[in-house]
């Protein structure tokens, strides 16, 4: 830790190599929940999938979730500290609501992602507040007349945000990104309807992590034209059965 001596205690301070250590440490916090999540584009849908872990027998599984509905059409998966995740979800909702009130139309996912990334950037430059230890993946499918189709954006604690075909977050990010890069080399989207895209997402996450999932091991959010919804365990089971039948 010789290089970081003293320069990593405060957000506003650059180290001699020009690094912001506190921001780098915030990225470590993203892996602390030990949950990996993916965002996948389909032809007319976008899907987010996240591992779901219930470590304590006394927990009520219904209340354990990292996927949030932000507006009727925008969904978000937040990977990292759950307290920070909920704070970000609340902020995103209020930003989207304010946008709707001010400008008279639903907030596009790109604008929301840019706004959330800008807020994160502030936390890397101002002393008063720490960065939040979560990475956010937003999805939305635009209305047909707007023409943008299915979209995925990822925002991180450094204030960086980017639109992607597919994206992974969490401890298995590296492996998952390699897997997705291979699959999306020649295509922009998973072929087929939203069910097919969900099945692709399940297979992708399952092979990266190296375990077979049951319906209570994962949670899934699906965006279709102008609508976002979270699948119930029964709906997830239907997709798992469909995958099993294809084998």
Q: In the complex with other proteins, which residue's Cβ is closer, 83 or 241?
A: 83
Q: Render the burial of 181-211: b for 16+ CB within 10 Å, e for the rest.
A: eebbeeeebbeeebbbbbbbbbebbbebbee
**Of the candidates 76, 159, 55, which has an alpha carbon nearest to the alpha carbon of residue 114?**
159
Bridge-based pairing state of the strands 67-69 and 75-80: antiparallel
Q: In the complex with other proteins, which residue's Cβ is closer, 89 or 141?
A: 89
Q: Which two tokens stand for residue 166?
A: 């597919």
Q: In the complex with other proteins, which residue's Cβ is closer, 82 or 203?
A: 82
Contacts 24+ apart (CB under 8 A), 239-242: 239/195, 239/198, 239/199, 239/202, 240/202, 240/213, 240/214, 240/215, 242/195, 242/199
Q: In the complex with other proteins, which residue's Cβ is closer, 63 or 246?
A: 63
Give me the least distance between CB of 55 and other proteins, in Å please: 10
Give me the least distance between CB of 60 and other proteins, in Å please: 4
Query: Contact positions toward other proteins, by CB under 8 A?
Result: 1, 4, 8-10, 21-22, 25-32, 57-60, 62-64, 81-84, 86-87, 90, 128-133
Give me the least distance between CB of 156 and other proteins, in Å please: 13
Give me the least distance between CB of 54 and other proteins, in Å please: 9
**Of the candidates 156, 180, 155, which has an alpha carbon nearest to the alpha carbon of residue 167?**
180
d(CA 95, CA 100): 9
Give me the least distance between CB of 136 and other proteins, in Å please: 16
Q: In the complex with other proteins, which residue's Cβ is closer, 29 or 223?
A: 29
């Amino acid at each position: 830790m010789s290089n970081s001596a003293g320069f990593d205690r405060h957000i506003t301070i650059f180290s001699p190599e020009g690094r912001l250590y506190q921001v780098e440490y915030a990225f470590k916090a993203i892996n602390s929940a030990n949950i990996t999540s993916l965002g996948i584009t389909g032809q007319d849908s976008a899907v987010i999938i996240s591992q779901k872990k219930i470590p304590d027998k006394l927990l009520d599984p219904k209340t354990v979730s990292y996927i949030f509905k932000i507006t009727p059409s925008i969904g978000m998966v937040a990977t990292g500290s759950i307290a920070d995740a909920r704070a970000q979800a609340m902020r995103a909702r209020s930003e989207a609501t304010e946008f709707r009130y001010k400008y008279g139309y639903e907030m596009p996912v790109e604008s929301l992602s840019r706004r959330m990334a800008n807020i994160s950037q502030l936390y890397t430059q101002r002393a008063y507040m720490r960065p939040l230890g979560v990475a956010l993946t937003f999805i939305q499918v635009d209305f047909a007349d707007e023409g943008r189709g299915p979209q995925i954006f990822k925002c991180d604690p450094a204030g960086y945000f980017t639109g992607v075909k597919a994206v992974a977050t969490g401890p298995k990010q590296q492996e998952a990104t390699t897997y997705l890069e291979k699959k999306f080399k020649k295509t922009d989207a998973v072929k087929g309807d939203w069910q097919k895209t969900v099945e692709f997402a399940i297979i992708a996450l399952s092979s990266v992590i190296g375990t077979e999932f049951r319906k209570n091991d994962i949670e899934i959010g699906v965006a279709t034209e102008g609508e976002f919804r979270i699948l119930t365990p029964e709906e997830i089971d239907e997709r798992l059965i469909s995958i099993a039948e294809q084998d």
